[in-house]
Amino acid sequence: MNDVPSPVSHPWLRALLLAACVLLVAVAAWFGWSTWRNQQLRDLAQVEEDTRQLDALMQRMDTLRGDLRAQGRLLQDAASANRVLRDEVLGLGQRNALLEDSVARLAVSSREAAQGLKLDEVELLLVIGAQRLRIADDYTGARRAYALAAGVLEGLNDPSLLSLRQSLAQERLAIDALAAGPRAAIATRLDAFARRLPSLPHDSQASTASQAAQPTWQRLLAPLVEIRPSGGNALMTDADRREGEDALQLELTLARAALERGDVDAFHTALNRVHGWLQRLWPDSPALREVRGELDALRAMPLHPDVPVLDSTLPQLRALRDGRTPS
């Protein structure tokens, strides 16, 4: 049987295999070295890139620190400016408070001045009303003055004037209840009294009632002899009667003047003299007694109204303005 020669047994084949192995080892070594080298280069490039990025980051951090320091300085400056502004705002607030205080005081002063002026006006109107009432007996004018005073008081919003308004309202009601006043009524009755005087009989026989009361012998002798009582009703001549009537009219004029002035004593004195002239000028008769009764009634009538609330507002107003408690 023929033996097949082993390929290893040839020397050139072994050399070829050895060379191939060496070549493979060299190629693998070159490939490994090349791969390692490339990896080293990549790592070096990565390190350089990381270093560059780190440097850039550090520069960025330095820039940020500078910016932070600048921002801190800006914040400090802003805080200082805020403190200054806060102090200025506080100062402005204090100045505003002082200005508001001053304006409030000015407003209060102005309001008090305006209120004082209004109260002066009210006082003047009350004085005018009282004068019209007491002196001129002008109740219409007094009512108008009191109404104006009430209107001025209503324009004031001070609560302390409430009692003054109530007092004025009561006084106005009292004046309204008096109608035309006592002196107007007395003047009317005095004029009616003066108009009745010419109708009084000049002799005691003028009245039928007085003739019926005479005795029979006196009525029989009446056509021949006229009998009159002596004393205050003594016979007067025509000239004396005219003078007496003129004096009586003068006394009535004086009574009217005293009534206009509200002079009680002068009015009563004039009425007393009128009473004396009545006794001298006319004999006793029912008509004369009626007239004398009317005269006595006129004498008894009050010239001024007796109303407690009249003239009560003016003293209260003056007491309020003086800071006193009204009595």
pLDDT in tens, 239-269: 778 888 888 889 889 988 888 777 888 888 9
Q: Are residues 240 and 255 in the same domain?
A: yes
Q: Are residues 296 and 152 in the same domain?
A: no
- How many other CB atoms are found less than 10 A from the CB of residue 36? 10
Q: Are residues 243 and 187 in the same domain?
A: yes
Q: Are residues 165 and 128 in the same domain?
A: yes
Q: Are residues 222 and 296 in the same domain?
A: yes
Q: Are residues 147 and 240 in the same domain?
A: no
Could you give the count of Cα atoms lying within 13 Å of 179 in the half-sphere of its Cβ? 4
Could you give the count of Cα atoms lying within 13 Å of 288 in the half-sphere of its Cβ? 21
Q: Are residues 245 and 261 in the same domain?
A: yes
Phi, psi of 304 (to 5 degrees): -115, 140
- pLDDT value of residue 214: 59
Q: Are residues 275 and 243 in the same domain?
A: yes
Q: Is residue 108 part of a domain?
A: no
Could you give the count of Cα atoms lying within 13 Å of 102 in the half-sphere of its Cβ? 6
Q: What is the domain extent for residue 317?
A: 114-179+311-321
Whether the CB-CB separation of 169 and 153 falls below 8 Å is answered with no
Q: Are residues 287 and 191 in the same domain?
A: yes
- pLDDT value of residue 208: 46
Query: Residue ranges of the chain with pLDDT lower than 50?
Result: 1, 3-4, 7-8, 205-211, 230-233, 326-327
- What is d(CA 110, CA 305) in angstroms, rounded to the nearest whole number? 41
- pLDDT value of residue 280: 84
The structural domain count of the chain equals: 2
Q: Say which amino acid occupies 189.
A: R
Whether the CB-CB separation of 179 and 139 falls below 8 Å is answered with yes
Whether the CB-CB separation of 29 and 21 falls below 8 Å is answered with no
Q: Are residues 174 and 248 in the same domain?
A: no
Q: Are residues 170 and 219 in the same domain?
A: no
**Burial of 137 (C-beta count, 10 Å sphere; 0-12/13-18/19+):** buried
- What is d(CA 129, CA 148) in angstroms, rounded to the nearest whole number? 10
